[in-house]
Structure 1
Amino acid sequence: MSAPNNSRLPKYLQEVDNLTDECRELISTLPSEMGWLPMFMHFYQGIWYSTRTLKAILQVQHHFRALDSDIVLVSTPKSGTIWLKAILFSLLNRSYYHSNKKVDHPLLRKNPHELVPFLESLHMLDTNPDLSSFTSPRLFATHIPFGSLPESMKNSKCKIVYLCRNPKDTYVSLWQFTNNLLPKETGTTSPLEETFDKFCRGVSMYGPFWDHVLGYYKASLEMPHKVFFLTYEEMKEKPREQLKRLADFLGCPFSEDEEEVDGGVDEILRLCSFNNLSKLEVNQNGKLSTGHENKSFFRKGEVGDWVSYLTPDMIERIDRITEEKFHGSGLKL
């Protein structure tokens, strides 16, 4: 795949032309290859990033200062991030919107990505963004692997919620999402076999997938008070139980009334369900400031959809890699 003319692509797919000298010099020293999208990716601190993302990562590392009260949702791309963004926002703001029945819940009119911004996106727009308008606890999201987090995030008392998904569903969802981002008029697609090979070699957004997951899994074992490790499959199987665990971890547990009488737990799960969010007008026809269509973030939300796409050889290969990478860790996905 070769990179087409910038003018034919939406802004979020265009190669960056205003790189800092630091970033440009760094890229010249890094292994690089064409990614799933028609743009180059670079191998930095053991992880693959697009040029645009790498520029933002450097700014986050240089400028972001975590507060002890911060809550950061970290995830592998296409692991249910938008669902957990909605859940965390609703969980942390539940008392206000429950006691103000006349106030529309923001999730009814805004995409979860607007309410819980990615640190990378904030630093793409502004080298050192002013975050003073965020109320405490500040809630952010990121895909940055544990080893590359800003030092203030590692050393402060801020809490990290980590979400991942089994690698086969992660790959299929990422492949579908990638193809949805490519404008049809360019005639460009990301072939299944080609992107699958890249994924297995670790060349994917914030990949290798297995290294990303292991970094946070180990951190959750070493610092259970700081890092909460959650899988998409656990959340789908027992949403009430996992939501209550999240509330306890974040220091805002549900009362008995909220659990049983008031319906607080069930109301959050209903509001944030795939079925509800995907049907909202804002998520069917709205767009983010980046140009991404909101509907592109909602596909099926199913567990095990990979069976419809992967061949037996593909399944064998990815299962073998997973077994080798996770061997001895105690982690099963």
Structure 2
Amino acid sequence: MEEGFYHYKGFKFNMLFVPPENLDAMSTFEVRADDIFLVTYAKCGTHWACEIINLILTGGDPDKIDRTCMEACLEMSYLKDITDFTSTVPYYKTLEAKTSRRVILTHLPKSLLPPQIFTKKPKVIYVTRNPKDCGVSMYHAFKEIGMPDSDWDGFVDEWTKQDDLLFGGFFTHVLDFWKHRHDSNFLFMKYEDMKKDPRGSIVRFADHLECDLTDEKLKLVVHHSEVNNMKTTYDNIEKNIPGGVFLTKILGKAPFIRKGQIGDWKNHFTVAQNEQFDAVIRENLHATGLVFDFGAFKNTSSHFIKSKIKMKQEHNYKGVKFSMMVPPGNLDAMATFDVRPDDIFLVTYPKCGIHWLFEITNLILTGGDPDKIDRTCMESSLEMAYLKNKTDMTSFEPFYKKLEAKIDRRVIVSHLPESFLPPQVFTKKPKVIYVARNPKDCGVSIYHALKEMDTASGWEEFVEEWTKQEDLTYGGFFTHVLDFWKHRNDSNVLFMKYEDMKKDPRGSIVRFADHLECNLTDEQLKLVVHHSEVNNMKKTYDNIEKNVPGGVFLTRIFGKASYIRKGEIGDWKNHFTVAQNEQFDAKIRENLHGTGLLFDFE
């Protein structure tokens, strides 16, 4: 038995958060007839179901919810003082002092629940989830709080065995409550059904709780219990309630709400792991009548985007590979694109900080005011097509034509290799800023962007292609960077490294401003530094998504993959194996030897 864990009547528990005296107290816990018990196996949608129940009770108003019911489960101890991890208090005692009507959360197996549940018959709602997604969600939660001793392969091996798990095995837990699905005070719900028909599921909840909802209140419950809106609510709780992070995250670390999807298990289980777990499912559920839905949840809008914009639909133009979002006609037009002397060209290889660079540049131009930035320049890159109508995924038009119509000083973003840029960049000599990033972190960032767009293979396959540096979109990284490195001493070109910008943001911004011939006061410089800090940029982008129609297309690739992920140096260490790193180091030496270009990798 691992340190800090123990067994109680055959079930495994954590000593700190579910001490044995709490479990002893369940036998005499006083249940009230108007109680609402929400029971789940861990990571099966507890907090989503809790929000729905409380929204029903408050008529759809999240501000009226008693958030103290989120502090812990019935059987757990909670931190009375969030600054003192020894200040644990049994939560059942807090519940005993509460006035009615109590919403009581628990992960306890049926045999350890207060016996009065089965005599006084309060309302009980049991929510289950397909065990593959449940396992994935549990793995990520454990990982974020630093609990698992193993990686995914080690975790899924234990999950498949279903031996000695916290709160007991998944199938035992679920099937014990499945037997009560026809009891008058029980409502047995599946997470997948709730996702596919949220309105109908909420009506079932309300009917079971004997709560009448008007059409308007029902709409409010549906709206506020939508996962993204719940995340917004939780963000507000963290910001506005002292210790709120302990209401929204396990130990203040792992979010209670992660993705809220069906089918994410497909991104984790290998074929062999899936076959093994399917055998366990058949063994446990055969002849029980309980069937789960394992199919991937499809958001119609994102699925439509994917069907219309397949990143694997690529073409070769003069020896360089491009996505069809950079059609040949756009590339042909670069030869005659009219450059203005006061243009500002921001050029990077993909995922080398282009949006951070854009924000800094525009903050300099606006004296540090993010609200004055012309965000239409973020819609696309010079060479790409953009969505003219954000509700019509076929309304693509060349972005260079939109730039041609602009009157004010243009900030032009591009990932084009040097030889593909408009020739007038090198004759009219507008201001050019090129930012390079170490190729390991660049590769990791590209991988995650592709993954969020559902176009990435596994990391192993990706890093193999990235190391080869052959047939990559926009050409190879080293060719792209070195072609601009040759211009580093040109009067109109500023060559910057992402890592230097991270380590000395203020000094880098001063260099930007000097290059652009913009004079900043000390106060304006402070504002630019503040608003271009990554976390503050994320807040700016959140506001854009909330307040600008179609704003998600300004902050995410096709409205999906965020342009800003971590903004860190050295995240590659969490991805490259030692062997992969040795191979890539050889590639770096091969390409950069004798060039004078060096990168900082941590």
Classify the TM-score, shorter chain. 0.7 to 0.9
State whether residues 430 and 492 of structure 2, in contact with CA within 8 Å, keep that contact through their aligned partners in structure 1. yes
User: Does the CA-based 8 Å contact 2:325-2:385 persist in structure 1?
Assistant: no
Question: Where does residue 205 of structure 1 map in the other structure?
Answer: 473
- Distance in 2, matches of 1:10 and 1:330, equals 46
Whole-angstrom CA distance in 2 between matches of 1:86 and 1:306: 24
Deviation at 1:48, TM superposition (A): 2.4
Residues 176, 320 of structure 1: alpha-carbon distance in 2 compared, 3 angstrom cutoff = same
Distance (Å, rounded) in 2 between the aligned partners of 1:12 and 1:131: 27
The 8 Å contact of residues 65 and 153 in structure 1, kept in 2 or not, is answered as no
Q: Is the CA contact (8 Å cut-off) linking 2:557 and 2:563 kept in structure 1?
A: no
TM-score normalised to structure 2 length = 0.43
Two-structure CA RMSD over aligned residues (Å) = 2.9
Name the TM-score, length of structure 1 as normaliser.
0.76
> 2:342–2:410: 8 Å Cα contact kept in structure 1?
yes
Choose the corresponding residue for 2:446, options 169, 174, 179.
174
Which of 537, 543, 557 lines up with 1:282 in the alignment?
A: 543
How far did 1:201 drift? 2.3
Residue aligned with 1:129, SS:
helix
Displacement of 1:253 after TM fit? Answer: 3.2
Using the alignment, how far apart are the partners of 2:562 and 2:544 within structure 1? 9
**Aligned 8 A contact 1:111 1:283 in 2:** no
Secondary structure in 2 aligned to 1:220?
coil
| SS at structure 2 position matched to 1:125 | strand
1:120 equivalenced with 2:358 (yes/no): no
* Cα-to-partner distance string for 1:246-266 (whole Å, 9 max, x where unaligned): 111111133xxx13xxx2112
The code of the aligned residue for 1:247 comes to A
Distance 2:456 2:349 in 1: 22
How far 1:168 sits from its partner (Å)?
0.4
Greater share of residues in helix: 1
Q: Paired residue for 2:577? A: 311
Question: For the residues of structure 2 that align with 1:41 and 1:226, how far apart are their CA atoms?
Answer: 33
Which one of the candidate residues 175, 178, 191 is aligned to 2:458? Answer: 191
Change (3 A) 1:152 1:10: farther
Query: Partner residue of 1:26?
Result: none
- What per-residue deviation string (whole Å, max 9, x for no partner) do you get for residues 261-299 of structure 1? xx2112112112210121343356642179722761121
| Residue 310 to residue 13, structure 1, CA distance change in 2 (3 Å) | farther
Equivalences for residues 89-238 of structure 1 within 5 A: 89-94=362-367, 97=369, 105-106=371-372, 113-114=378-379, 117-121=380-384, 125-126=397-398, 129-131=401-403, 133-182=405-454, 189-202=456-469, 203-221=471-489, 223=490, 225-238=491-504
Aligned equivalents of 2:316, 2:592: Cα separation in 1: 22
Alpha-carbon distance change, 306 to 134 in structure 1, aligned in 2, over 3 angstroms? same
Deviation digits for residues 11-50 of structure 1, max 9, x if unmatched?
A: 47635xxxxxxxxxxxxxxxxxxxxx75143443443212
Task: Give the counterpart letter for 2:378 in structure 1.
Answer: H
Offset of residue 211 of structure 1: 0.4
Residues 1:264 and 2:524 aligned together: yes
The 1:91/1:12 distance shift into structure 2, 3 A limit, reads farther
Q: Could you list the runs of 5+ residues in structure 1 that have no partner in the other structure? A: 1-6, 16-36, 98-103, 183-187
Gaps of 5+ in 2: 1-300, 387-395
2:320 to 47, 57, 74: 47
Distance 1:111 1:136 in 2: 12
Cα distance, 1:204 vs structure 2: 2.8
Q: Residues of 2 paired with 1:74 and 1:12: CA distance?
A: 27
What is the distance in 2 between the residues matched to 1:243 and 1:65?
A: 28
**Distance between the aligned counterparts of 2:347 and 2:307, measured in 1?**
23
Judged with a 3 Å threshold, the aligned counterparts in structure 2 of structure 1 residues 127 and 298 are, in CA distance, closer, same or farther, namely: closer
Relative distance call for 1:165 and 1:66 in structure 2 (3 A) is same
Distance 2:340 2:418 in 1: 17
The 1-side partners of 2:449 and 2:487 are apart by 29
SS at match of 1:105: helix
Offset, 1:330:
0.3
Q: Which of structures 1 and 2 has the bigger CA Rg?
A: 2
**Percent of residue pairs identical:** 29
Bigger mean CA deviation after superposition, 57-66 or 202-211: 57-66
Instruction: Identify if the C-alpha distance between structure 1 residues 156 and 12 changes in structure 2 by more than 3 Å, giving closer, same or farther.
Output: farther
Give me the whole-angstrom Cα distance separating, in 2, the residues matched to 1:204 and 1:314.
Answer: 18
Task: Tell me if structure 2 keeps the 8 A contact 1:70–1:138.
Answer: yes
